[in-house]
């Protein structure tokens, strides 16, 4: 399995001392330009995916955040370096990318999925909808700094290092609720660095959102899996449509700044929270603004399937 410690990857790394390079991409970042959020957390590693059949299936094992970063960020850095140097952007000229081969071969390299969720506030009375976005602060995050994204976005990972807690956290919905807590409400990250377990059934936010989902007032739609063409990261592309009364009750205190960046929710006091979910807004962020590929895909697919979503 490719790990990012291969000679083809080591050639991309800076020197840590005369004649000696850093041993990994994450080691170089840690010592030279460490962002605020940069910890080697436990994650669920994706081994197999099949979402197009009547019985969609994802198969996982345990992994770590840094093992993914060491590969995905190194291959992205290699491509960016070749482009800046004016080299041909042919896979034959990219030694590490050539070594990886088929990006859909999940056994070839460590892969985790980031759940990208476009949150849409739907007003059933007026028939209108809005959405909020996130600007990822490059001083705080290791991936996607300086880009807009949908929100919430989070790596599928357990909230604790405790083995029992990891079994409880092996649930995409629970992962999504934790990200809502962190990004929309500014609550501390459940980042997998402690042994504390979450009692989901007693957590008010989880109970409220789950009840809304069960009542059909919050609906989660999955578009599929996408691969970032630069770093080969995997994104689970989704949309979460929330009725306006639920959204306002739960996220009425929507933060403007959180641990990963700034919430972009439209500054017009005469409109509802967020940007109007209309062609003009979709085109702006998918075509004219610097937006990450996963977020752009979610927004474009949501607009394509707007009649189903709304």
In total, the chain counts a number of residues equal to 310
Do 168 and 129 lie in a common domain? Answer: yes
Do 207 and 265 lie in a common domain? Answer: yes
Domain boundary among 67, 100, 133: 100
Domain boundary among 42, 65, 100: 100
**CA gap 195, 266 in Å, rounded:** 38
**Quick check: is 2 in a domain?**
no
Q: What is the DSSP pairing of strand 261-264 with strand 113-123? A: unpaired
Number of domains, the chain? 2
Q: What is the DSSP letter of 91?
A: G
Encode pLDDT of 136-192 as tens digits: 998 888 788 899 999 999 999 999 888 888 899 999 999 999 999 999 999 876 655
Domain boundary among 100, 130, 162: 100
The residue with greater pLDDT, 89 or 157, is 157
Do 11 and 72 lie in a common domain? Answer: yes
State both tokens at 198.
Answer: 């979450």
Strand ranges (E), the chain: 15-17, 20-21, 42-50, 57-64, 113-123, 128-131, 133-136, 148-150, 153-155, 218-227, 234-243, 257-258, 261-264, 275-276
Q: What is the mean pLDDT of residues 62-69?
A: 92
Encode pLDDT of 35-55 as tens digits: 887 888 899 999 999 998 788
| Residue 20 binned pLDDT confidence (cut-offs 50, 70, 90) | confident
Do 162 and 56 lie in a common domain? Answer: no
Q: What is the mean pLDDT of the chain?
A: 90
Do 139 and 94 lie in a common domain? Answer: no
**CA gap 41, 62 in Å, rounded:** 11
**Quick check: is 108 in a domain?**
no
pTM of the model: 0.91
Which structural domain range is residue 155 located in?
113-309
**Domain containing 125 — which CATH number?**
3.90.79.10
**Quick check: is 39 in a domain?**
yes
Q: What is the DSSP pairing of strand 57-64 with strand 42-50? A: antiparallel
Do 191 and 155 lie in a common domain? Answer: yes
Of 229, 209, 236, which Cα lies nearest the Cα of 293? 229
**What is the predicted pLDDT for the residue at 92?**
82
State both tokens at 219.
Answer: 């609906």
Of 4, 35, 32, which Cα lies nearest the Cα of 17? 32
Do 77 and 148 lie in a common domain? Answer: no
**Quick check: is 23 in a domain?**
yes
**Quick check: is 30 in a domain?**
yes
Encode pLDDT of 155-165 as tens digits: 999 998 888 88
């Amino acid at each position: 399995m490719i790990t990012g410690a291969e000679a083809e990857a080591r050639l991309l790394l800076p020197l840590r001392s005369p004649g000696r390079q850093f041993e990994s991409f994450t080691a170089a970042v840690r010592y030279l330009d460490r962002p605020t959020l940069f910890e080697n957390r436990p994650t669920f590693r994706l081994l197999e995916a099949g979402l197009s059949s009547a019985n969609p299936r994802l198969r996982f094992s345990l992994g770590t955040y840094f093992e993914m970063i060491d590969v995905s960020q190194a291959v992205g850095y290699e491509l960016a370096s070749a482009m800046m140097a004016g080299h041909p952007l042919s896979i034959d000229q990219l030694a590490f990318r050539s070594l990886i081969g088929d990006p859909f071969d999940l056994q070839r390299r460590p892969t985790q999925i980031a759940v990208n969720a476009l949150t849409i506030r739907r007003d059933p009375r007026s028939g209108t909808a809005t959405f909020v976005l996130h600007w990822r602060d490059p001083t705080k995050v290791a991936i996607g700094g300086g880009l807009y994204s949908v929100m919430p976005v989070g790596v599928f990972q357990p909230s604790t290092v405790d083995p029992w807690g990891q079994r409880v956290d092996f649930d995409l919905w629970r992962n999504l609720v934790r990200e809502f807590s962190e990004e929309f409400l500014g609550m501390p990250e459940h980042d997998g660095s402690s042994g504390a377990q979450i009692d989901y059934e007693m957590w008010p936010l989880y109970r409220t959102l789950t009840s809304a989902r069960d009542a059909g007032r919050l609906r989660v739609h999955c578009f599929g899996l996408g691969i970032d063409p630069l770093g080969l990261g995997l994104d689970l592309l989704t949309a979460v449509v929330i009725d306006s009364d639920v959204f306002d009750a739960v996220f009425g205190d929507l933060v403007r700044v959180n641990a990963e960046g700034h919430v972009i929710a439209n500054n017009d006091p005469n409109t509802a929270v967020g940007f109007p979910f209309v062609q003009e807004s979709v085109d702006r962020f998918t075509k004219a603004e610097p937006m990450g590929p996963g977020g752009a895909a979610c927004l474009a697919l949501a607009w394509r399937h707007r009649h189903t979503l709304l």
